Each structure stands twice: as C-alpha cells, then as structure tokens.
Amino acid sequence: PEECFVNNTNIFLNLTSAVKDMKLNCRILSIGSSEEYGNVDKSMLPLREDMSLTPVSPYAVARVSQEMLSRVFVDSYKQNIILTRSFNHIGPWQDDRFVVPSFLKRIMDIKASGAKSGTIETGDTTIIRDFVDVRDVVKAYYLLLTKGTPGEIYNICSGRGIALSDIIVEMADLVGVEVKTKVNPEFVRPNDNRVIIGSYEKINKELGWEPVMDLRTTLSDMLKERESR
C-alpha cells in the first residue's frame, strides 16, 4: 500500500507543487485509473465520469487521492490540469509485468518448445476488462493536452469488455498452439474488480476521439514485435 502512494500520489504532489511554486505556465495531464470506480453492479455499466468512486485497492485509493489533489490545485491555485481515468492499455513493447504481455510470452514459450499445446498458470481469468490500444491512448492524451478543458475528467477506454480467458484464446490462436490455464492462488488479487467497461462518450463529444484499433490487430502487433526481438 505504501508504494502505491509513494509512486503515484506523492510523485504527483511533488510535480504540481513545483509547478505552482515556480509559477510555470504549463498544462499537466493527471493520469488516473479505471480502478477508481471500484466494484460496481452490471446495471451501472458502462462506467461514466460522473459516477461515484468506490475504490477497493490501495492502488485505486492512491489514484483517487491524486484526482482529489488535482481538484485542489485547479480550484485553489488555478493550475491548468486535465484529468483522465485511463482503462487497461495494451500494445507492442509493453513490459511483461502486465497481464497481457505476460500471457503472450508464456504462450510463445510453449510454441518455442516445439509443443503443440501446454498449460499456463494464471490468476482469475473470468474477470472482464476494457482494453484499449496504447496508440489510441497516445492520440487521446495529445488531444487532451492541446484541446482539453482544465479541471475536467475524461475516460480513456475502448467501450468494450473482454474476459482474460478470451484474450488467452485469441493469443493462442494467433500463435498457433492450444493453451489450457491453471489458476494459481498467488496470482489472484484480493478485491479485484469483477467487470470494468467504460464509456468514452464525453471525450468523443468534446474532442472527437474514439479508439480505432481492434483487439485482434493489437494482439497481432504485439506478437510480431516479440517475434522481431
């Protein structure tokens, strides 16, 4: 829990305080997380920016704290800060610490071993996430930095949900192997949000942004990048 605040809230506070003290005329993009919404009933989906926040993990609480600090700096010190609640990014060159490239690496290891099938250990693969290609995310961030409204919050998402188990099936098909999964309790995160699907209606209406990369293309590009290493 302590690292979550040190690596997120504290870093943001140091940055915004320095900008304020130095009287710099610059725009700050405060990157938040879809985890801030917490566990919600399916009837509340897709998640929208005006919904209440019920964070259930230290990371999510740290991100909400960052968001509240942003509000303080905007309202009290008139700083030029735009906020996001960004959903799961994926794409080529993503670090293996993240779930999708971690799956892909292990699936490719099965293929590299010469086997036609294999088993990988996972956490709970029934959870549903909203994955958005990092190339779409970068375009959204650029639009927000150039045209976004200070003090406003924007979801950055695909608007589509997919179970992690289906991601594994897609990647196994691309790699050309059959993959079974075995749940390792050590990989299951406590209080994990069951379903996260967002709405990008706000940023679409205000700035015209919408995701253009489909999931299979993203996964295919991730595979090609790893094969080229």
Chain segment 100-137, per-residue pLDDT in tens? 999 999 999 999 999 999 999 999 999 999 999 999 99
pLDDT for residue 82 = 98
What average pLDDT does range 85-111 have in this prediction? Answer: 97
What average pLDDT does range 191-217 have in this prediction? Answer: 96
pLDDT for residue 189 = 83
The CATH code of domain 2-227 reads 3.40.50.720
What rounded mean pLDDT belongs to the chain?
Answer: 96
- Split at pLDDT 50, 70, 90, the class of 191 is confident
| Bridge pairing between strands 162-163 and 178-183 | unpaired
pLDDT for residue 108 = 98
- State what percent of residues in the chain have pLDDT above 70: 100
pLDDT for residue 212 = 98
Domain ranges of the chain: 2-227
- Split at pLDDT 50, 70, 90, the class of 93 is very high
C-alpha 180, offset from chain centre: 26
Q: Are 209 and 148 in contact (CB under 8 A)?
A: no
pTM: 0.94
pLDDT for residue 208 = 98
pLDDT for residue 46 = 98
DSSP 115: -
Is it the case that residue 77 has pLDDT exceeding 80?
A: yes
Residues 6+ apart with CB under 8 A from 119: 179, 180, 181, 182
